Each structure stands twice: as structure tokens, then as C-alpha cells.
Amino acid sequence: MHSFYAHERNKVIKQTKLLDVVIVGGGPADLNAALVLGRCCRNVLLFDDGHPRNEVSHTLHGFLSRDGTPPEQLRAIAHEQLAAYPSVQIDQDRVVDAARVEQGFSVTTRDGRSFLARKLLLAAGVVDKLPEQPGFRELYGIGLFHCPYCDGWEMRDRPLAVYGRGDEKEGGMALEMTHWSRDTVLCTDGPSELSSQYRHRLEANVVQLA
Ligand SMILES: Cc1cc2nc3c(=O)[nH]c(=O)nc-3n(C[C@H](O)[C@H](O)[C@H](O)COP(=O)(O)OP(=O)(O)OC[C@H]3O[C@@H](n4cnc5c(N)ncnc54)[C@H](O)[C@@H]3O)c2cc1C
């Protein structure tokens, strides 16, 4: 977030209504917080510029009552239900600056508007850093995944490759994947950093190393 000059900020704050809560982010945590706050009659302004972490994903799984639902449908249902609470507003601008001020917090959006709230909730999400290798970005969410709990079931009993060079993390993931498929290979992309203990465990579980 960019810094915002203090005298400019103070000028805006004098003209701004004090909200109860500004929420930065529109993921499930943010939307659920907005729902509970709306039900508590709080004035809430939620900012979501619409690039969720799972925007490449076609369906979400393992979320009780919404298993197999497209992620945008989950968001649409949440927005529809929030519309019943008039004290909750959703804004599609991006928050680019936030600061502690006397009354609470000020936030500034990309289009230059400023808002003031007693509380600021930051749940702006995670950004996944993909390996640079060709094809990773194109296949992400289609045939390449980061979470077996989200997408492992759909890939069960198929030949699976786990990518990574480390020891416990990737070795552990390769071992874990044998719950979904006994045909699993760990691709270390160069010399592996696996300890002999992990190598033995992988061998014992018929996980190939490549
Ligand atoms: C490929 C893939 C598949 C997945 N599958 C599943 C699954 O099957 N089941 C499951 O439970 N989970 C799944 N997940 C994880 C799930 O998507 C996340 O746990 C969930 O979306 C919460 O993510 P988040 O907290 O990172 O927020 P996000 O969902 O990323 O939401 C954050 C939102 O805030 C907005 N935002 C961020 N900063 C600002 C700002 N400064 N101003 C305005 N708006 C802002 C973003 O644009 C975004 O829309 C999957 C993730 C990926 C990547």
C-alpha cells in the first residue's frame, strides 16, 4: 500500500462519516465477518477488487454444504445474503493505503476516496507464488494443484506427480498423496535434498523419485 500524506489524510477525515468497520478483502473470512457485523447492526464497508486466490478454480470442495460449487457461485450467494443487511456495503475499489488515526483507522482507495472507521479488518488473502517453469501457470487449477484436500479426490487412483526439492515438505506431501493414488512420483527438479530417512520411507511406500 502507498503512503498517503498526513495533512491530506486529515483534510479528508474531517469530511468523512465514521464507519464502524472497514473490511479489506472479499474472501470467505471477510464476507462472513460482514454478515455477523451486519446482523449486529454495525455500519460496515467491505472492499473487494475481485481477484480471489481461487479465481482459476472451477469448483470448490470440502466446504460443508457447498462441495462441488463454482467459487463465483459461493461469492454470489454470500453477496445476495449480505444484501439483506442495509448497514453492510460492498465496494469494488482497491484499498491502497491504511493508517491509524485518532478516531480509529483511515483507508484510501485506488480512485482516491478516503474512509474512516473505528475498526479495520484486514483479511486480504494469500497470493500463490508458482514455480517459473513453463506450463505451471496455464495448468494451475486444471491439472496442477496446491492442496490435496481441495482437489485430491478428483485425481484419485490416477498417476500423480508431486513437485519439489525439499525434505519434509515435499517428501511428506509425496507420502501423503499415496492415500489418493499408489502411482505417485516425486519430481525433485535436480538433485534432491531428501534425507536418507525420507528416501527409505518413500521407497517403502512405492513412491518413485524422478
Ligand atoms: C486453485 C485453488 C483451489 C482451491 N480449492 C479450494 C477448495 O476446493 N476448497 C477450499 O476450501 N479452498 C480452496 N482453495 C482455497 C480458497 O480459495 C481460499 O482458502 C479462500 O479463497 C480464502 O482465500 P483468501 O483468504 O486468500 O482470500 P481470497 O478468496 O483470495 O479473497 C480475497 C479478496 O480480497 C480482494 N483484495 C485483496 N486485497 C485487496 C485490497 N487491498 N483492496 C480490495 N480488495 C482486495 C481480492 O481481490 C480477493 O477478491 C483453493 C485455492 C486455490 C488457489
Taking CA atoms only, the protein residue closest to ligand 1 atom 52 is: 54
Question: Does the structural domain 136-209 have CATH classification 3.30.750.24?
Answer: no
Ligand 1 within 6 A of 135 CB?
no
**Ligand 1 and 60: CB distance under 6 A:** yes
Asked whether this chain's domains 6-122 and 136-209 adopt the same fold, the reply is yes
Rounded CA separation 36/62 (Å): 23
pLDDT computed for residue 161 by the predictor? 95
What distance, in Å, lies between the first and last C-alpha atoms of the chain?
A: 42
CB of 79 sitting under 6 A from ligand 1: no
pLDDT score at 186: 92
31 lines ligand 1 (CB under 6 A): no
57 lines ligand 1 (CB under 6 A): yes
Instruction: Give, using CA atoms, the residue closest to atom 34 of ligand 1.
Output: 25
Domain ranges of the chain: 6-122, 136-209
Q: Which CATH architecture is the domain 6-122 placed in?
A: 3-Layer(bba) Sandwich (3.50)
Q: Within the chain, which residues score under 70 in pLDDT?
A: 1-15
Q: What is the pLDDT of residue 209?
A: 81
Do 18 and 114 contact (CB within 8 A), yes or no?
A: no
Residue 168 is predicted with a pLDDT of 77
pLDDT the model gives residue 2: 47
Please state, in angstroms and rounded to a whole number, the distance separating the CA atoms of residues 94 and 5.
18
Tell whether pTM > 0.85. Answer: yes
What are the tens digits of pLDDT across the range 97-151? Answer: 999 999 999 999 999 999 999 999 999 999 899 999 999 999 999 999 999 999 9
Residue 65 is predicted with a pLDDT of 96
Q: Is 27 in the pocket of ligand 1 (CB under 6 A)?
A: yes
What pLDDT is recorded for position 3?
A: 47
Q: How far away, in angstroms, is 147 Cα from ligand 1 center? A: 13
24 close to ligand 1 (CB < 6 Angstrom): yes
